A and B are shown apart, each in its own frame.
Chain A
Amino acid sequence: MIPRPKPERFRLRRTMIFMSSQKPGLIKDAYIYGVDSIMLDLEDAVAENQKDAARFSLYHALKTIDYGDTEVIVRINGLDTPHWKEDIRVCVAGGADGIRIAKCESAQDVKTVEEHVLAAEREFGVEEGRTLLMAALESPKGILNAYEICSASDRMFGVAISGGDFRKCMQTKFTPDGVDMMVARGQMLIAARAAGVQCFDTVFTNLNDEEGYRAEVLQNKAMGFDGKSLINPKQIRLVHELFAPTEKEITQAEKIVRAYREQSAAGVGVFTVDGKMIDIAFIPGAERTLKLARACGLYEGDLV
């Protein structure tokens, strides 16, 4: 058995790749791609009559395969199906880092899952509170209730929007500029930040449209997403590349943090760095840039 370290609620999650739990060929070597999180799927990627088989396969994968630093999340079936309770039992028993609640629409959905997770932790002798949660918002109702969902549990680390189902509900289709989901993405981001959790964008499904994919990842970054859901390993590198701070951003952040510490020690609240006004409001952003740079292997200083 491979003992997994205790999951971190807030860690780097730029990329989260979907893998069907029913496909041994996929899940056995999912850790080699350097993705931040893998999402072993018990929901839509598994046919209705194979839900049982996928759980056996998932359990042994979790217990046997060394995923190293790659986070292992499991997407469980929706609360309107007969499957989700057993899904939770197998996730907790197998020691998954977290559970993704599909089609989440309310704080009550999160609390219902949390209750069963706690019961499973007790049943299988897993440390209480170990199993993290995240929610997928797939409907207009989910988006409208984003804040209560994000703040429904101390186990919650983030929310993700699911484009396919959301567009279906809204009677829209994919547009290259993202205008079809602009409001929903924005509302979810605001809710996530207000609740202090992470926020992830949906998948980009056209693997041949490289330009479109790049444009969407850049927009995700500009909007403030922490990361993106992926369907293919070849999508990983671009997100890591584009989400990494540039050398210029890192140098600038370093200067700001250093100057702030010196100035505030000397009793100064507002000052300039390279001609730009800086006060305390800039510091968390600069520190976050340095932390992200460190996580990406681009910063080795001692400021964060």
Chain B
Amino acid sequence: MQILKPATAGTLESSDLMVTLEPGNGGIELSLTSSVMNQYGRQIKKTVLETLERLEVKDAKVTVVDKGALDCTIKARVECAVFRANDASAENIPWGGVIV
């Protein structure tokens, strides 16, 4: 999927994260801050990048502010932001397809 317009998903509450997507400059450019950076920084980054790859997002500026979210929450927020960036988040989501 492409990032057609800027989109965000999530909050800055504990156990959540805020994902912001903007159209990129020919690649994935990830900026990550996390309250658990030292312990889980690499894991969070991996989950974010895997989710983007699964959704075939290849060109985006991605800003993630994490507040100790579980992997399942990271996936949910990244996916929601990508679908929002396509105005496609409201219905006919491919549950069990690319959303797994």
Chain B: CB-nearest residue to A93: B95
Known contacts A28-B15, A64-B71, A86 near B76 by CB under 8 Å: no
Known contacts A24-B16, A52-B84, A59-B99, A89 near B70 by CB under 8 Å: no
A60 to B84, Cβ gap below 8 A? no
- Complex interface: chain A residues within 8 A of B3 (CB): none
Known contacts A23-B13, A25-B14, A64 near B72 by CB under 8 Å: yes
A52 to B83, Cβ gap below 8 A? yes
Chain B: CB-nearest residue to A51: B90
- Complex interface: chain B residues within 8 A of A94 (CB): 95
B16 to A56, Cβ gap below 8 A? no
B72 to A65, Cβ gap below 8 A? yes
A60 to B95, Cβ gap below 8 A? no
- Complex interface: chain B residues within 8 A of A55 (CB): 93
B95 to A89, Cβ gap below 8 A? yes
Q: Is B92 an interface residue (CB 8 A)?
A: yes
Q: Is A280 an interface residue (CB 8 A)?
A: no
- Complex interface: chain A residues within 8 A of B75 (CB): 56, 60
- Complex interface: chain A residues within 8 A of B84 (CB): 52
The B-contacting residues of A in range 16-39, CB under 8 angstroms, are 23-25, 28
Complex: A55 Cα to B76 Cα, angstroms: 9
- Complex interface: chain B residues within 8 A of A93 (CB): 95-96
B72 to A63, Cβ gap below 8 A? yes
Chain B: CB-nearest residue to A29: B15
A25 to B15, Cβ gap below 8 A? yes
Q: Is B52 an interface residue (CB 8 A)?
A: no
Selected from A60, A85, A90, A124, the residue in CB contact (under 8 A) with B73 is A60
- Residue pairs across A and B with CB atoms within 8 Å: the count is 74
- Complex interface: chain B residues within 8 A of A59 (CB): 76, 95, 99
Most buried by A among B16, B71, B79, B99: B99
Taken residue by residue from 56 to 90, chain B's Cβ proximity to chain A (1 for < 8 Å, 0 otherwise) reads as 00000000000001111101110110011000011
Q: Is A73 an interface residue (CB 8 A)?
A: no
- Complex interface: chain B residues within 8 A of A82 (CB): 90
Known contacts A24-B70, A25-B16, A52-B84, A86 near B91 by CB under 8 Å: yes
Complex: A55 Cα to B91 Cα, angstroms: 10
A57 to B76, Cβ gap below 8 A? yes
Q: Is B32 an interface residue (CB 8 A)?
A: no
Complex: A59 Cα to B90 Cα, angstroms: 14
B76 to A28, Cβ gap below 8 A? no
Q: Is B4 an interface residue (CB 8 A)?
A: no
Complex: A63 Cα to B76 Cα, angstroms: 11
Q: Is A53 an interface residue (CB 8 A)?
A: yes
Most buried by B among A53, A63, A85: A53
Known contacts A28-B15, A28-B70, A64-B71, A90 near B76 by CB under 8 Å: no
A56 to B79, Cβ gap below 8 A? yes
Q: Is B49 an interface residue (CB 8 A)?
A: no
Known contacts A25-B14, A28-B70, A53 near B95 by CB under 8 Å: no
B-side residues, CB < 8 A to A, are 9-10, 13-16, 69-73, 75-77, 79-80, 83-84, 89-93, 95-96, 99-100
